[in-house]
Amino acid sequence: MITLEKQHSWFERQLAAGSAQSLQSTPQWLKLVREDAIAAATQLPVHNRQHEAWRYTSIEGLLRTSFAGDEQAHQQNQAAVDDLLPQSLDSYRIVLVNGQFNTQLSTCGDLPPGVKLESLRTALATDSDLLATWFGNIANHSESIFSALNTALINDGFFIHIDQDIELQRPIEVIYLHLSEDQQFMMHPRNLVVLQPGAKATLVERFVGAAESSYFHNNLTEISLQQNAVLKHYRLQDESRDAWHLSSIYVDQQSHSDYQGVTLAFGGAWARTEYHLDFDHEHATCGLSGLYTVGDKQLTDFHLTVKHRVADCRSREQFKGILYGEGRAVFDGHILVDKDAQRSDAQLSNDNLMLTRNAEVDTKPQLEIYADDVKCSHGTTIGRLDPQQLFYMRSRGIDEATARNMLCQGFAAEIIDQIDLQPLREHATERLVDSLNRNSQPEAGR
């Protein structure tokens, strides 16, 4: 076990390594925020198995890895970047290569009046006062050491601001490309999304890593939805199988706002996605859905914290996992219904399909209820493919590998079909099939 002293030494080394890459020209308000975050990162307790939220997910492997933070991580072969870039949706697009905004690959012009879509660096130069109004209001870096690390080492990211009653017809697409050749590096994208009253938008985030690239991606996104605002948020995590990935999404909702988030996780050696959502105003709704496939030498973790603090809010959380080889998954979903949150409606489910005997899942859906007039439920299932269904398909001439994949696709379709954008939905299905093909052999003999 790594001692507490060694754990803090790792964070101090990352702070030192990342200082050259973090923003150098910053307004005074951000300097103060970063200084506070640096102090927090050196004082906060490091996550270990004694912390309930990290009980099943160890960070010791991460703490044994040293990451560089110098400019060499951003000097990449353009041909390699082009090969890695996904096919474009009909969207406004921001591309971050190894954590930094790439002007040549981004297409965020022709925006309608009242819409800002820009890199964080640009926003700090042109919209610093507007950024300061919202920055850090939702995510508290004094509560999480990784959030503190992100805030202390902010380098780039994106800023979205949509004025009142504007409905953006095309989706906003943010692509994170990661390439490393001779070194392991880290990046800390910081993102802010603000939808003013009545605004509507679709946001797509895609995380892509070149094969065998090794890096630590520590992403933090704050989302503020004002009254009657609507955001559809799709995330496709398809990182290198040698990558460390941590995404922390903080959502604040005003009355009658609606947030719908769908996350698909296929990649990474160690990948954790956190959702932190607070209902502080009545008549707001949210839906969080996710699909993960986990194979050999992979750990995928989803951690949800949804707090119903006021009355008449509705939340739906539905996550599914497909595990094969010696893959390991963690699902930790916590819904809190406060004493003043009468007439709350909350449902939480986690279903897992185990394709091999050596796969493992730790699942912990939780309801904590202090109100007496609520409609809440939670549950989890862990099972294998139905042998009768397999037999039925085999009897009609379908080989076993194809039959298994077809049943898995049917299991996953309930999540993937929630993506309204057809090209993205088709791509997600293709990636699911690719993942399943890694497990094309029958379980016997494993």
Range of the domain at 189: 4-281
In this predicted model, what pLDDT tens digit does every residue of 373-424 receive, in sequence order?
A: 999 999 999 999 888 888 778 888 888 888 888 899 999 999 999 999 999 9
Rounded to an integer, what distance in angstroms lies between the CA atom of residue 404 and that of residue 192? 41
The overall longest dimension of the chain from CA atoms, in Å, is 71
Distance of CA 110 to the CA centre of its chain: 28
DSSP β-ladder status, 92-97 and 100-101: antiparallel
- Domain annotation covers residue 405: no
* Amino acid at residue number 433: V
AA letter at 339: K
Segments of the chain with pLDDT less than 50: 70-72, 442-446
Q: Distance (Å, rounded) from C-alpha 199 to C-alpha 165? A: 4
Q: What is the pTM of this model?
A: 0.93
Q: What is the pLDDT of residue 163?
A: 97
68 secondary structure, DSSP code: B
Please identify which residue in the block is written with the tokens 């990162």.
41
Q: Is 113 domain-assigned?
A: yes
Residue 230, SS3? strand
Confirm whether 127 is domain-assigned. Answer: yes
Please give the sequence-ordered ranges of beta strands (E in DSSP) within 309-374, or none if there are none: 314-323, 328-337, 345-354, 360-369
Q: What is the pLDDT of residue 218?
A: 95
Structure tokens of 360? 């493992």
pLDDT value at position 440? 54
Q: 61 is written with which tokens?
A: 């492997």
Q: Both tokens of residue 51?
A: 């912390």
In 3-state terms, the chain is what percent helix, strand and coil (to 5)?
25, 35, 40
The proportion of the chain whose per-residue pLDDT surpasses 90, expressed as a percent, equals 68
Cβ 218 vs Cβ 176: under 8 Å: no
Tell whether 312 is covered by a domain.
Answer: no
Q: Tell whether 209 is covered by a domain.
A: yes
- HEC sequence for 204-220: EEEEEECCCCCEEEEEE
On whether residue 148 sits in a domain, the answer given is yes
Query: What pLDDT is stored for residue 420 in this prediction?
Result: 95
Q: From residue 102, how far is each of 25, 99, 121, 131, 355 by CA, in Å?
A: 18, 9, 11, 21, 40
- Is residue 258 within 8 Å of 281, Cβ to Cβ? no
What is residue 444's predicted lDDT score, i.e. its pLDDT? 38
Give residue 401's pLDDT: 83
- Yes or no: say if 298 and 241 are a contact pair by the CB < 8 Å rule: yes
Please give the Cα distance from 43 to 403 (Å, whole number).
53
Give how many domains the chain has, as a whole number. 1
On whether residue 179 sits in a domain, the answer given is yes
What pLDDT was estimated at residue 65? 87
Query: Is the distance from CB of 56 to CB of 362 less than 8 angstroms?
Result: yes
Sequence-distant (6+) residues with CB within 8 A of 131 are 120, 123, 124, 159, 192
